[in-house]
Amino acid sequence: MACGRRISVALLLFAGAALAQAPERVRGVISSFDGKVLAVGDKRIVVTDKTEIVFNQPIALAELKPGDFLGVTSVKHADGKLTAYEVRRFPKPVNPGHRPFDGRDDQTMTNATVSASVESLNGRELTMTYDGGAQKVVVPPEAAISTLVPGQKSQLVPGAPVNLTMDGSGVALRIQVGPRK
C-alpha cells in the first residue's frame, strides 16, 4: 500500500512538472529587447541562439495564388461568412484545418491550401481546402497579407508585433515578428 502511494505521489509530481513546462503563447508588441531579453507587455522572454525567428514579410494580395498554403485569421459574421483580417503564406503546410481562434466564436483560423481565387464586390474571395472540408474567405483590401521568411534578432525592435511561444522557464522557442507599425 505504501509503495502504491509513493507511485501515485510520483506520478502527480511528474504530471505537475509536465503541465508547468507546456509552451505558452504570447501575442503583443515589443516594448524592448536588449539582445537577450524580450519584453512584451508584462512578459520577459529569454531569446537564445536556438530560438527560431521568422519574419512576416508584407506581400500584395495579387501574389496569393492557387496551390499556396495559407493561415487565414477571419471574423465570422452572423450569416456564417468569413472576412479575413490577417493572411500569412507558409512555406509548407502547418496544422491544416478550420477552428475557432483565441477561444472566440466570432473569429476563426483556417490553415489550408488555396484551391480557387476570384474577385468579389468586397475583395478577393479565396476557397481554402483541407482534409475534410473547405471554407470561402473574403480578403478585403485592408487585410494584412504576408509571407513567412527567416528572421533575425535585428528585427526584434520596439513597436514590432510578435506572436511567440515560450517554454515553462521563459525561453522563446519560436518568434514570429512583423514590421514595426
**Judgement on whether residues 73 and 117 belong to the same structural domain of the protein:** yes
Neighbours of 149 (CB within 10 A): 11
The parent domain of residue 101 ranges over: 60-146
pTM for the structure as a whole: 0.74
- 80-136 per-position pLDDT tens digit: 999 999 999 998 898 999 999 877 788 999 999 999 999 888 889 999 999 999 999
The whole-angstrom distance between residue 50's C-alpha and the CA centroid of its chain comes to: 19
With a CB cutoff of 8 Å and minimum separation 6, the contacts of 135 are: 82, 98, 108, 110, 112, 127, 128
Domain count along the chain:
2
Would residue 53 count as lying in a domain? no
Would residue 54 count as lying in a domain? no
**Judgement on whether residues 13 and 89 belong to the same structural domain of the protein:** no
Of 180 and 166, more confident: 166
Would residue 66 count as lying in a domain? yes
Would residue 151 count as lying in a domain? no
- 129-149 per-position pLDDT tens digit: 999 999 999 999 999 999 999
Distance CA 7, CA 14 (A): 10
Distance CA 101, CA 169 (A): 26
Would residue 99 count as lying in a domain? yes
**Judgement on whether residues 23 and 74 belong to the same structural domain of the protein:** no
Would residue 55 count as lying in a domain? no
